[in-house]
Structure 1
Amino acid sequence: MGNAQSPPANPRFALASRAFTQQELDGLKSLFVSLAAQSQSNSKCISPSVFKAYFGIRGPLATRMFKLVSQKRNDDELTYEDLVITKAVYEKGSRNEIDEFLYELCDVNGDGILGRCDLEAVMHSISDSVFHRGDGQTSLSSWKIAIEAFLDVAEFSKEVEKNADNSMSLVDFRNWCILVPSVKRFLGSIMMPPDKGRLGFQVPVLLHPASLKPDGLILQKESLKPDGLLLQREYAWHIAGALSQAEAEQWKLLYHSALNGLSFTTFMGNISSWEWPTILVIKDSEGYVYGGYASQPWERHSDFYGDVKSFLFKLYPQASIFRPSGANNNLQWCAVNFSSDNIPNGIGFGGRASHFGLFLSANFDDGHTFPCTTFNSPCLSRNNRIQPVVIECWGVVVKGVNNAKAELVKGTVLERFKEDRNMLKMIGLANASE
């Protein structure tokens, strides 16, 4: 009768614990004990500073995340129960539960209204966390341009009482994450162990000649100079949001119009031996920047080919990714030296012949972009007809595979002949009777 009563168990904690195996719970307990010890809290809780430092997040998004994980108590203390409850939703929850959590996370002001200012704060936190501003590789001006491009595709359809500006609904948020998948990858990996290569934090290493330097101003319409790199690190991160970790590690510049001239023949020659995915980036005379991810090698075909890993994208003045819709298989186009009017010579993506989602003609001085059901993509530029000013093509480096191919090229005379014949086939000279 005089025995002390133990505090009742938190029912949310008990329910959340069931989502994990005992081994996973032991791992969470070990993590908590380690971080609590660093927090100098007598192993009772994790402090905000230790939490932010361990997970590598900065700015208002980090503050908001700690508040949600600590169940909004505002006591600057994160308990083991808090960690398990949040992880159960964040990692083990249904798609709706995860989306709702991320939606609430982006409301950094905590007022129940997800506005453009909240998203801007989120993007600045991503910049600080992913690009580590001050590392000399990402300029503030280029990131500001990128933020506007990411935010300008967001919809704010939810009316707010006594507020002139609408807010972002949950449906709006989901649609935005589809267009900018790198954002959701980042938000969804914040609480993953930082030593396991978090996808949302991954920025491809861009390999290019030193003479071509990244220049954020090249993306502005008034700058039509052809000697800078279009693919900034921010936009590489954006494109990588639609790729696997292996495909987002390292990209090598295969062709740039400033170095190689606006030449279709040179373009095809530079990429003829590249058997892995490539990224085509174009800036046109209107100042728009866009392109496509080609999952298959650029090879001579008289019809569409490719697979569903291909997609179209916009980078400036808006940034979006358009994945295959499943409406058709008209994914990739590469026609070289065909004489039929029904087979337009050039490279492209989506749509149908002569009405592509994106197309560059074989003379490389014009092309077009139309809305297409292949990717559910809009016209990528201001006008349907385009005039390229800068063209880049990057090769996705598949480690351990390209090296093997390079060794093959160095092999026997017969093997080198096969390479030469492949090049001739690319430009339509081999098997000329076809």
Structure 2
Amino acid sequence: MGNKQGRSSSPEFLSACRRFSTSELQDLRALFVSLASQSRSDGEFISASVFQAHYGIHGSLGSRLFDLVSFSRKDQRVYYEDLVMSKAIYEKGSPDEVEKFTYQLVDLLGDGRVQRSEAEAVVLSTLETVLGPKDAIPGAGLPESSIQGFVDAAELSTDGNHEAYVSDLEFRKWCHLIPSLKKFLGGLLTSPSADVLGRQVPQLRCPENIPSFLKREFAWHISGILPQVETQEWSLLYHSSVHGLSFNTFLSRLTSVGGPSVLLIKDEDGNMFGGYASQSWERHHDFFGDLKCFLFSLQPRSAIYRATGANNNMLWCAVNYTSESIPNGIGFGGQKNHFGIFLPASLDRGHAFPSVTFGNPCLSNKSTFNIDIIECWGVVLDTEESTKASASGGTILERFKEDRNMLNMVGIASASNSVG
């Protein structure tokens, strides 16, 4: 597709057109005409500056997207045929085509390999776009540790020159651990909007005098696995430095509102992690919850750990039981006295173990950790939108099916199922 003549009759272009409906092609033509007009090209092409301004992708990722859409011609022009063929692959292609395109996208140098430095640049470009350039300046609005935390979720390979890089298989695993990044990279050619998947950051309702460690990049990360109705607004329900380390106070503030919530823990070693409870915290003598629950880590490594289906031990909330077989406190995953995360009613120390429930490693440096801060955020639901989402039915199971397919592909699900 290197020259203009013959593009509109090429087999590649004609095949791409067949992936769209007539109305979709009309919309694409209208978009091209608008952007070409802004480019002052007599309707012939879209310039790089207009293209990047329209899609609003900051940093090196925006340049790489333009390079792929223009088929690396280096003439700084995107023709109508380029736009149709790129969107045909990126938005209408098979999973393998989309994954190949996305991997090429993060391969900023175009050498067939995603080096660590490229992964860092992709994360920075993503956060610049999602948070805004002013809030994504390393060392100022955005801590360098946040960028490294996202990159460190990827398992890196090493070549003969000891250069660290992310292989295509490890890239898939990386996207699975950071679903917000996967959503963002999968929607770059969608017209920019606050509602576009991967660009949503919950509005955090928190009094200014409370020093929350839930930063916007962390909220973006956690919300990546949630339905849109649960990514609009979160409200701080409990903060240990303000409300005290009283389990009764802690639980009463969590149950006063009800509904989904996000529990965050910072231990004295600086590790930040937590879990998402899809249901209200209520007194039980056994595990409860559903497949929407998950664990996550924020620092030093950012990752989401979803339900594997190995067991149904999602949530634990026991209060004032006298039996030693029923530990008082709240927790996620694992088994009794061997939880993925557990906060005892004394709130003196927490416990963390690897669990087959969520396929997570130990989220602290050690299984028993000293607590520095506990926060809990309530997910504010729009009642009308929530009802619509519930009425659609099957969304949890469909998402779980997709997750299981991903786990099987990378060899995780079979390993989980083999462990009791």
TM bin, normalised by shorter chain, reads 0.7 to 0.9
- Local SS of the residue matching 2:110: coil
**Any idea what SS the aligned residue of 1:117 has?**
helix
The reply to whether residue 318 of structure 1 matches residue 316 of structure 2 is no
Q: In the TM superposition, what whole-angstrom CA distance separates every residue of 1:161-201 from its partner, at most 9, and x where no partner exists? A: 5x221421110000011111111111111111224711211
User: Aligned to 1:202, which of 192, 196, 200?
Assistant: 200
Task: Measure the CA separation in 1 of the matches of 2:299 and 2:186.
Answer: 25
Q: Which of 292, 314, 322 does residue 331 from structure 1 map onto?
A: 314
In the other structure, the counterpart of 1:217 is none
Relative distance call for 1:367 and 1:401 in structure 2 (3 A) is: farther
TM-score w.r.t. the length of structure 2 is 0.88
Could you tell me which residue of structure 1 aligns to residue 380 of structure 2? Answer: 397
Q: 2-side partners of 1:146 and 1:205: how far apart?
A: 19
TM-score, scaled to structure 1: 0.85
Residue of 232, 239, 248 corresponding to 1:249? 232
Distance in 1 (alpha carbons) for counterparts of 2:7 and 2:239: 68
Contact 1:59 1:125 in 2 (8 A): yes
Once the two structures are TM-superposed, the CA of residue 48 in structure 1 deviates from its matched residue by: 0.7
Q: Secondary structure at the match of 2:165?
A: coil
Give RMSD over aligned pairs: 2.1
Q: Secondary structure at the match of 1:321?
A: strand
Which protein has the larger Cα radius of gyration, Structure 1 or Structure 2? Answer: 1
How far did residue 93 of structure 1 move? 1.1
- The amino acid that maps onto 2:95 is R
State the alpha-carbon separation in 1 of the partners of residues 136 and 9 from structure 2. 50
- Note if contact 1:138-1:233 (Cα within 8 Å) is conserved in structure 2: no
* Structure 1 position 349 matched with structure 2 position 332: yes
Q: Secondary structure at the match of 1:194?
A: coil
Q: Distance in 1 between matches of 2:259 and 2:332?
A: 17
**Residue aligned with 1:237, SS:** helix
How far, CA to CA, are the matches of 2:237 and 2:138 in structure 1?
22
CA contact (8 A) 2:262 2:378 kept: yes
Structure 2 residue identity aligned to 1:340? S
Q: Is 1:62 paired with 2:45? A: no
Change (3 A) 1:189 1:111: same
Determine which structure has the larger strand proportion and give its number. Answer: 2
Q: Tell me what 1:220 maps to.
A: none
Instruction: Give unpaired runs (5+ residues) of structure 1.
Output: 213-227, 405-434
Alignment of 1:132 with 2:146, yes or no, is: no
**Number of matched pairs:** 383
Q: What aligned pairs does 1:10-409 form with structure 2 within 5 A after superposition?
A: 10-134=10-134, 140=140, 142-157=142-157, 159-160=158-159, 163-195=161-193, 197-212=195-210, 228-400=211-383
> Quick one: distance in 2 between partners of 1:29 and 1:402?
33
Per-residue deviation at 1:137? 11
Q: Distance in 1 between matches of 2:317 and 2:270?
A: 25
Distance (Å, rounded) in 1 between the aligned partners of 2:385 and 2:159: 54
Give identity over the alignment, percent.
48
Residues 105 and 301 of structure 1: is their aligned pair in 2 closer, same or farther, counting only changes over 3 Å?
same
2-structure distance, mates of 1:207, 1:137 = 23
CA deviation map 1:10-69 (0-9, x unaligned): 111111111111111111111111111001011111111111111111111000000000
- Mark the runs of 5 or more structure 2 residues left unpaired by the alignment: 388-420
Which residue type is aligned with residue 325 of structure 1?
Answer: T
**1-structure distance, mates of 2:318, 2:137:** 38
Q: 1:37 to 1:8 in 2, by over 3 A?
A: closer
C-alpha distance 403-307 of structure 1, shift in aligned 2 (>3 A): closer
Cα displacement (A) at 1:113: 2.1
| Conserved? CA contact 1:127–1:143, under 8 Å | no
